[in-house]
Every structure is written in C-alpha cells, then in structure tokens.
Structure 1
Amino acid sequence: MSHRAWVDTAIQRIEADFNRSADTHLIPLDLPGYPDITVYFKDESSHPTGSLKHRLARSLFLYALANGWLRPGRPVIEASSGSTAVSEAYFARLLGLPFIAVMPASTSPDKIAAIEFYGGRCHLVEQAGAINSESQRLAQETGGHFMDQFTYAERATDWRANNNIAESIFKQMAEEPSPIPAWIVCSPGTGGTSATLGRYVRYRRHDTRILCVDPETSTFFDYFASAQSGKPDASLTLPCGSRIEGIGRPRVEPSFIPSCVDTMLKVPDGLSLAAMRYVSKRLGRRVGGSTGTNFIGVLWLAQHMQAAGQGGSIVTILCDAGERYAHSYYNPDWYADQGMDCALDDASLAAMLSGEALSGLRVAGELV
C-alpha cells in the first residue's frame, strides 16, 4: 500500500470512529443566589477516553496525517503523563501504530495503567523537565513522530467548524433561554481550547467573551498580564508544575494565544479543589480538579454580572471525571501531605456562593 493510500485509510478510520460517537452533553446547573444567570457544564468526560483531551488527540492525529508526518509501523510519541497520552494511545491503537508516552518517573500507577490499557507504552524519565527533549530523541531514534501537543494544539484544531468544542457549545445552546453565552470559562493546559473558543466567537461575530482561569502554579496568567501591558514575556518559568492536573504549565507554551482571551483569573489550588468537591456533590458524581478551577471562574463572573444588573448564560467545561484522581483529590491523606485545610477552603467557597467577594484572586484583562 502506498503512503497516500495508508493516510486515506487512517483518516477514514478516525472519521468512522467520530461518526460512532455521540456529542458530549451540556448540563445545566442552578446557581443559588443568582436567579438571572444560568450555568452550563460542557461534559467532556463522556468522550470514549473520558476527557476533553479526546478532541485534542483527534485533531493532532488528523493534522499529522494531513501533513504526512505519520508512517505505518512507526511509533507516535508524546510528552504527557495525563489525559492527552491516554487519548493519543486510543487513536494510535485505532490506526495500528505503536504509542510511547514520555512521562516523569513519579507518574501515578493509575495513569500508567490507563495508557497501557489502550496499548501504549510508558517511557519514564527522572527529571520532569526532560520529557520534551527525551521525546524528540526517541522520535529520531525510532523514526517515529513526536506529536508535541504544546506546540500544535492551537493550530491542529479547525476553529472554524468540524464540530470543535465551540461549535458544539453554540449548537447545543440554540434552544436555551439565553442561547449566546455572555461568557465561556476554560482553563489552559496547552492553550488550544482557549484559542479555539476565542477565535470561533470572533469568527461567528458573537458577543461572547472568554475567561481563562489559571491554577496557582502556572505561567499563563503572568504571561497574559505582561501581554496586556504591551510587553509580553514568553520567557517566564517556574521550578515546578501545577497541582491541578491537566492545566497550568511551568513555562509559557506556544499554543497559548493571549489575544484570544478577554480576561484571566488566578485561582488558589485549595479553592479549586473545594469547588471540585461542591460540583461533585451537585452533579452526584466525581469530577476532576480542573472543573473546580473553572467553577471558581463561573462564580466570580456571576458575582460581577449580578452586581452590574446583568443576566444571561455562562458555559464552562467539565474536563474529566474524578475517578482518575482517587489517589489524590479524593484521598484525605493527599491533602494532609500537601498541607491543605479542606475545612477552611470549603468555608471560603461557601462565602463565595453566598455572594461574598473573595480576596486572593488575581485578575487581568477586561470585564466589558
């Protein structure tokens, strides 16, 4: 079979897999104390691989195939210890390609097992900061392809259409009381989702604005603030990664486009996890930590909208299910190890829910 014929078959397999899958759900959630504001969660945990990263992995594979970067029998390699690796392993198996996830040696056994379930192999490195260079080395050594999610996330996704997350949200909102959301709230991991959302609302000429919520240990907020001042500093780095898995980065990633975002909020980790626990109780099932970070952004916006006499809808993302975090966010011993006071954080969240403004949230950008 020629390479072009193999690419045709590979794309057909991915498209057939997409046709077999229903769209993810849009779940309304009443927000006590805010009767004129409706909140919706875009539930990305219902993808076959259980997270928002399923969309990214599909886009990365289609982009790599269309560019002629993938070859039969040669491995696909990604620097990831989380949901992206799980989803890429799924698509690699679909195409009959070997998959290698390069990850820190400290990665939890639960995540390693999830990647191996889809036929992937985990390549562990001692230094977390070396996963990109090790991925590049493996690609050269094996003749494989390094997907490099943090570089290609914003360009691999077709932000105009192709059922990207933004198009899906607006289609599902069409019959709701406020079909054009006042805000969409997301959190940056690669930056690809915020870029897709920001581009789509401008392209479709919607009034919707994008709030990006960053966890405690991440460079994205400060990079955005520097861009707002007219002096973007892409050299920002931090010595460690985020405790809110899947979002936040210790360096500025190429796929994060600050001009696609209207406002950013910096959220303490303890508050994110208190919100995670609250949303889990309200929905009757566990959600991940990044969903909690997103919900703090929703609450903060609801407070400001109500104070300004505004109503309407806010859409945010339920990124993944909480079952992946049984060893951490749903384990009391983990909080003790982290020195986090759940009772204090739950009280802070309760104050926000009652309408009290919370100190400790950093804001950059505009609300109008």
Structure 2
Amino acid sequence: MALATGSQTLVDESDINRYDPEYRAWLREAVRKVQADGNRSADTHLLTIPLPADWGIDLYLKDESTHPTGSLKHRLARSLFLYALCNGWLRPGRPVIEASSGSTAVSEAYFAKLIGVPFIAVMARSTVKSKVELIEFHGGTCHLVDDPCEVYEVSARLAEETGGHYMDQFTYAERATDWRGNNNIAESIFRQLEQERFPEPSWIVATAGTGGTSATLARYVHYTQRATGICVADPENSAFLEGWRTLDRNITSDKGSRIEGIGRQRVEPSFVPHAVDRMMRVPDAASVATIHLLQRLLGRRCGASTGTGVWASFHVIAEMLARGEKGSVVTLLCDPGERYLDKYYSDTWLTEQGIDPEPYTQRLERFLQTGDLSA
C-alpha cells in the first residue's frame, strides 16, 4: 500500500504476522479431540413408543440421553466448541463462559475439560442441584444468579474480566451446526428411518431452548426437499410461540419457564421462526403427566422437556387419526429424568408450583384407547 506524506510517496512494507506455532499446535490437538468425541458418540438410538396397531401411525423418540453427557445439548456443545476453536476464539488457559439453564453447561464443561481449558457456567439459582453437581464433576464451576434474565449480561462481564470467551449458545446455536449434513440430528433421524414402513415422517416435533435444534431440523428438511412438517412445542411462560406468531423478535415474558432446558423469556437470536411450520403451547402439567406415562410405557424416566414434545406429538397424531392419515412422527428424548427427581417427580414440588397433572393423565389414558386427546 502506498502512503502519501507531503510531496513524497512511501511504500508501506509492514508485515503483521500473528502466526503462533505453539498455539496452532494446541488448536490442532483441541479440534482433533472434539472431533474424536464425535466419532465415538456419533449417533443415538431411535426408540418406538407403542401405539395401537390399527392406527397405522408410528411414533419415534430420538434418545439423546445416551450421549456422554446425557442430553441433546452434547451435540450443541460439540458444535459450539468446534465453531469457536476454528474461529480462533478459544485460547489455552483462558476460560470458556456460558449462560445456561443447566444441560448445555454440563456438556460444555465436558468439552472444556477435554481440551484443557477452564469452564464457568452462569445459571439461575433455581437450576436443579444434580446439574450443578454434574458441571462440577466435569471440572467446571458455577456462577449462580437470582434472576434468569441476568445470565447473558453476567456471562459477558465474566468473559471480559477473565480474558475468556463467552460461548453464547443462544446466539450461535443455529450457525454452529452444519444443517446440510455432517451427522447432525436431522440427518441421523432420516438415515435411521430408511428401513421403516414410513421412512419420511409426516412431522418432527422439537422443543426450543436456543432454537438451534428446530433450525437444524427445518433447514435440513428444506435442503433435502422433503415434505416433513416441523412443529415446535413451547412450554408456559415462554416467548417463542408469540414471537413466532407475530414475527416480532422483541416479544418478552415476565416469568421464566418451569420446564428446564426449554422456553425462554425472550426470543433468542438462534430461533429461526420462518423455517418452522407450526408451534404449539403445552401446559406444564401436561408435560409432567406425559413423562409419567412414558415411565410406564418405556420403563424409564425422562426430563419434562421430553414430555412437552411427546404431548405435542400426541396432538399431531390425534389430528392425523381424525383425518384418516397414516404415517410416522418423530420427537426427542432430551435428557434423563433422574436429574429431576426433586422436581417433576416430586409431589411436594408440584404442589408448591400449583401443577396438577391428573386431568392430563386422564386425557392421555383416553387418547391411548380412542385416539382422542381433547379436553
């Protein structure tokens, strides 16, 4: 570049070289470790939920609880770490900070330990104790705040104070995952369905915490030219449904979600409303009633976010039956219920929260016999 100085023209011969062999060696090894984890835990089971044979409808549950950190968020954390590493945002010895309702922080603590960097989770004080213990088990530390809305600001401040990196799952979830393929959750679902009687599901039902999973599912369906509909089930007190209905990203809620891992008080940046075909509000009591039904049907406990998705799936199936349609529906088993024994499986907690699952339990029993889920 030529620089003019008075009557003279000088040639700028400066050479700014930031190449650091030691850092690049660390980076290559860190990326290798994260990718190796993907090879070891690349896929999860696709379970069937038993329905009456004469319905001609199959319901599948993508069991994300079998990941090394026990939840759907393991995929997200792996993608976020690869994205941050390849962008040059993570450095040896500097902490990774995340705002989380718990499960993402557990998974990110795992990957931080894997590549040898500190990890700090910023979470609401109401997060279940078992998730705090899991984060600490994986070497992370927890910074608890009283107001869930504070997690964003506190995380950014801690990153600035420590010289670390704020991972910010709520902004980067939708762009960190390669939605065109590379063993994302959508590609995995369709590959596993290839030998089933209805290989292209009528609907995939997801729930939204960051919005990243629904964005990945929807984009992949559109990219691969499928007719599958994408439905997002939203719990009480979440801003996502109203933000989707109005396409107003400034919608907020004055209360936090009681279903951990999903539902937010604001429309998160990673939520892609135009890609989603349908949204459904699910009462918290219906989510709880559904996980107790699943315990009976599957012989295992699931988190309440799974109940939210399955309740919405039952609604979709009831509609298909009413129209005389056959086909398949897929939803997600997000995490195990053992994390919530003192919450969704506790009569004391349910009473304190004013949650009565019994009316929805009765509707579920009638649905399994008649296909009718109406009130």
The alpha carbon displacement at 1:67 in A equals 0.6
Q: Return the match for 2:225 from 205, 208, 217.
A: 205
Partner of 2:371: 355
**Aligned equivalents of 1:21, 1:3: Cα separation in 2:** 27
The alpha carbon displacement at 1:350 in A equals 2.3
Instruction: Determine helix, strand or coil for the equivalent of 1:60.
Output: helix
Instruction: Determine helix, strand or coil for the equivalent of 1:243.
Output: coil
Partner of 1:102: 122
Matched, 1:65 2:107: no
* Aligned CA distance change for structure 1 residues 342 and 145 (closer, same or farther; 3 Å): same
Q: Return the match for 1:54 from 44, 61, 74.
A: 74
Deviations 1:38-74 (A, max 9, x none): 1110000000000000000000000001111000000
**Aligned equivalents of 2:286, 2:241: Cα separation in 1:** 17
The alpha carbon displacement at 1:342 in A equals 2.9
Does the aligned pair in 1 maintain the 2:364–2:373 contact within 8 Å? no
* Higher CA-based Rg: 2
Matched, 1:158 2:158: no
Partner of 2:210: 190
Which runs of structure 2 are paired with 1:200-349 in the superposition (5 Å)?
200-226=220-246, 232-349=247-364
Partner of 1:87: 107
Deviations 1:243-286 (A, max 9, x none): 11111111110100011111111111101111111112100010
**Aligned equivalents of 1:296, 1:69: Cα separation in 2:** 40
Deviations 1:282-336 (A, max 9, x none): 0001011011111111111111112222111111101111000011011111111
Matched, 1:136 2:136: no
Partner of 1:5: 25
The alpha carbon displacement at 1:105 in A equals 2.7
Q: Return the match for 1:37 from 44, 57, 65.
A: 57
* Aligned CA distance change for structure 1 residues 153 and 34 (closer, same or farther; 3 Å): farther
The alpha carbon displacement at 1:107 in A equals 2.9
**Aligned equivalents of 1:102, 1:111: Cα separation in 2:** 12
Does the aligned pair in 1 maintain the 2:234–2:281 contact within 8 Å? yes
The one-letter code matched in structure 2 to 1:105 is R
Deviations 1:139-186 (A, max 9, x none): 011110000000000000000111100000011111111111111111
Q: Return the match for 2:165 from 145, 153, 159.
A: 145
**Aligned equivalents of 1:331, 1:341: Cα separation in 2:** 12
The one-letter code matched in structure 2 to 1:190 is T
Q: Return the match for 1:19 from 39, 46, 50.
A: 39
RMSD, aligned CA: 1.3
Identity level (%): 58
Instruction: Determine helix, strand or coil for the equivalent of 1:2.
Output: helix
**Aligned equivalents of 2:356, 2:279: Cα separation in 1:** 26
**Aligned equivalents of 1:223, 1:34: Cα separation in 2:** 38
**Aligned equivalents of 2:339, 2:146: Cα separation in 1:** 23
Instruction: Return structure 1 stretches of 4+ with deviation > 3 angstroms.
Output: none
Instruction: Determine helix, strand or coil for the equivalent of 1:256.
Output: coil
The alpha carbon displacement at 1:7 in A equals 1.4
Which blocks of at least 5 consecutive residues in structure 2 are unaligned? Answer: 1-20
Does the aligned pair in 1 maintain the 2:99–2:123 contact within 8 Å? yes
The alpha carbon displacement at 1:357 in A equals 4.2
Which blocks of at least 5 consecutive residues in structure 1 are unaligned? Answer: 227-231, 360-368
**Aligned equivalents of 2:89, 2:312: Cα separation in 1:** 38
- How many residue pairs end up in the alignment? 354
The one-letter code matched in structure 1 to 2:298 is L
Instruction: Determine helix, strand or coil for the equivalent of 2:94.
Output: coil
**Aligned equivalents of 2:239, 2:148: Cα separation in 1:** 16
Instruction: Determine helix, strand or coil for the equivalent of 2:59.
Output: strand
Deviations 1:69-104 (A, max 9, x none): 000000000011310000000000000000000112
- Single out whichever of 14-23 and 177-186 deviates more from structure 2: 14-23
**Aligned equivalents of 2:342, 2:179: Cα separation in 1:** 35
Partner of 2:16: none
TM-score normalised according to structure 2 size: 0.92
The one-letter code matched in structure 1 to 2:77 is A
Instruction: Determine helix, strand or coil for the equivalent of 1:315.
Output: strand
Instruction: Determine helix, strand or coil for the equivalent of 2:300.
Output: coil
* Aligned CA distance change for structure 1 residues 34 and 224 (closer, same or farther; 3 Å): farther
The alpha carbon displacement at 1:22 in A equals 5.0
The alpha carbon displacement at 1:106 in A equals 3.1
**Aligned equivalents of 2:288, 2:357: Cα separation in 1:** 8
* Aligned CA distance change for structure 1 residues 255 and 212 (closer, same or farther; 3 Å): same
The alpha carbon displacement at 1:6 in A equals 1.6
